[in-house]
Structure 1
Amino acid sequence: MKNLRTIAIALFVALGTTVATAQAKKINAEKSTINWVGKKVTGEHSGTVNFKEGMLIFKNGKVAGGNFTVDMTSLTATDLSGEWKDKLDGHLKSEDFFGTEKFPTSTLKFTKIATKSKGVYTVTADLTIKGITNPVTFDLVTKGNTATSTLKINRTKYGIKYGSGSFFDNLGDKTINDDFDLTVNLQY
């Protein structure tokens, strides 16, 4: 009985130590940024979308997890102004693209993390856009209380096929690239 109690105490201490070394760091959603670029045959558009919330989880000083929620209703173009900006913002929020009325958020949840070098990680995560989840892989660079990453996302994997030359013929100069680029800067 005494041995069982000793084992139970040792197990409790070991588990307590493991839990104590994991640290969740909430991002500052107001200071963290997501910039996007979407390209088409005749040029490109760029803009921003805001985080709703998120966190990185560290264990023994290394990234061990993360999850983020993005406010898709904040999606906006920054390369246009006035009527053209309003039209593009409205179109991006429509069912042709992100359907933000029905899908106001997107999420990203880390599923696998490999250390590439000091402060640099290769992350595989589940990205959910418009209720559709697919894995994405990207590098995450951490320094101090910041982390940065760039991602290339194939929009057609999330049911966003508008203007895609992969699905429609004879689009000519109206063709929009399937991939869009994200540049993410986290502050926590």
Structure 2
Amino acid sequence: MKNKFAKAALTLVIAIGATAFTPVDKEEKKVDVTTSKITWKGYKVTGSHEGVISLKEGSLIFEGDKLTGGEFVVDMTSLTSTDLEGDSRSKLDGHLKSDDFFGVETHPTSKLIITKVKASGKNAYKVTGDLTIKGKTHPVTFDLSVYGNKATGALKIDRSKYDVRYGSGSFFDNLGDKTIYDEFDLVVDLNF
């Protein structure tokens, strides 16, 4: 009887131990690029401009219900302003796509690869990733919230790190009220 009990207890301990050390499977959740949205806002001495840009593809990686990674490709050719209309809008959109800014003919996509995720609260994460714009890659850190099949985040990007120089006080002197600030905002609303 003692022998049977000991074998049963040992089997139970081994089963619990194996379960405790069994890795959780990673699950890749594809982002719905048709319903997800990225808005941008750029600032200058005399005001600001805002618009949208589309995701080409993207996914988030989860282990259980915890975010652990992800990767996104942005379609730079979709860069559009939403605060202007007509010729003014066409002119700004064309200038933003030109080599003065994002050079979309040569660099039609930008990319973000999440390299580190740290939980910062319930459904909240501090995310670090490698952002590539115009072929230049630099780390960015931002907050991301995940609720069900939605994720939202806000990033502040320093364009001067990516060789986006036009109107930048970091590269040119005496711009006065024509100065365009280096930092611009991205707000990301993802559905997956």
Q: Shared fold by TM > 0.5?
A: yes
State the distance in 1 between where 2:68 and 2:170 align: 37
User: Could you tell me which residue of structure 2 aligns to residue 75 of structure 1?
Assistant: 79
1:22 Cα deviation from its structure 2 partner: 1.1
Equivalent in 102, 125, 128 of residue 124 of structure 1: 128
The structure whose Rg is larger is 2
| Residues 1:115 and 2:93 are matched in the alignment | no
Correspondences of 1:1-188 after superposition (within 5 Å): 18=23, 21-188=25-192
State the distance in 1 between where 2:184 and 2:26 align: 34
Alpha-carbon deviations, 1:2-46, whole Å to 9, x = none? xxxxxxxxxxx98xx53x621110000010000000000000000
Which structure 1 residue ranges, 5 or more long, are not aligned? 1-12
User: Could you tell me which residue of structure 2 aligns to residue 8 of structure 1?
Assistant: none
1:88 Cα deviation from its structure 2 partner: 0.2
Counterpart of 1:93, as a letter, is K
Alpha-carbon deviations, 1:32-68, whole Å to 9, x = none? 0000000000000000000000000000210011000
User: Could you tell me which residue of structure 1 aligns to residue 9 of structure 2?
Assistant: none
State the distance in 2 between where 1:93 and 1:166 align: 21
Instruction: Using the aligned pairs only, state the percent identity.
Output: 58
What's the secondary structure of 2:32's corresponding residue? coil
How big is the alpha-carbon RMSD for the aligned residues of Structure 1 and Structure 2? 1.4
State the distance in 1 between where 2:35 and 2:64 align: 26
State the distance in 1 between where 2:52 and 2:120 align: 28
Alpha-carbon deviations, 1:74-116, whole Å to 9, x = none? 0000000000000000000000000000000000000011010
1:148 Cα deviation from its structure 2 partner: 0.2
Counterpart of 1:149, as a letter, is G
User: Could you tell me which residue of structure 2 aligns to residue 7 of structure 1?
Assistant: none
State the distance in 2 between where 1:39 and 1:21 align: 43
Counterpart of 1:38, as a letter, is G
- Runs of 4 or more consecutive aligned structure 1 residues displaced over 4 Å after TM superposition: none
Counterpart of 1:176, as a letter, is I
State the distance in 2 between where 1:72 and 1:164 align: 20
Which structure 2 residue ranges, 5 or more long, are not aligned? 1-17
State the distance in 2 between where 1:102 and 1:124 align: 26
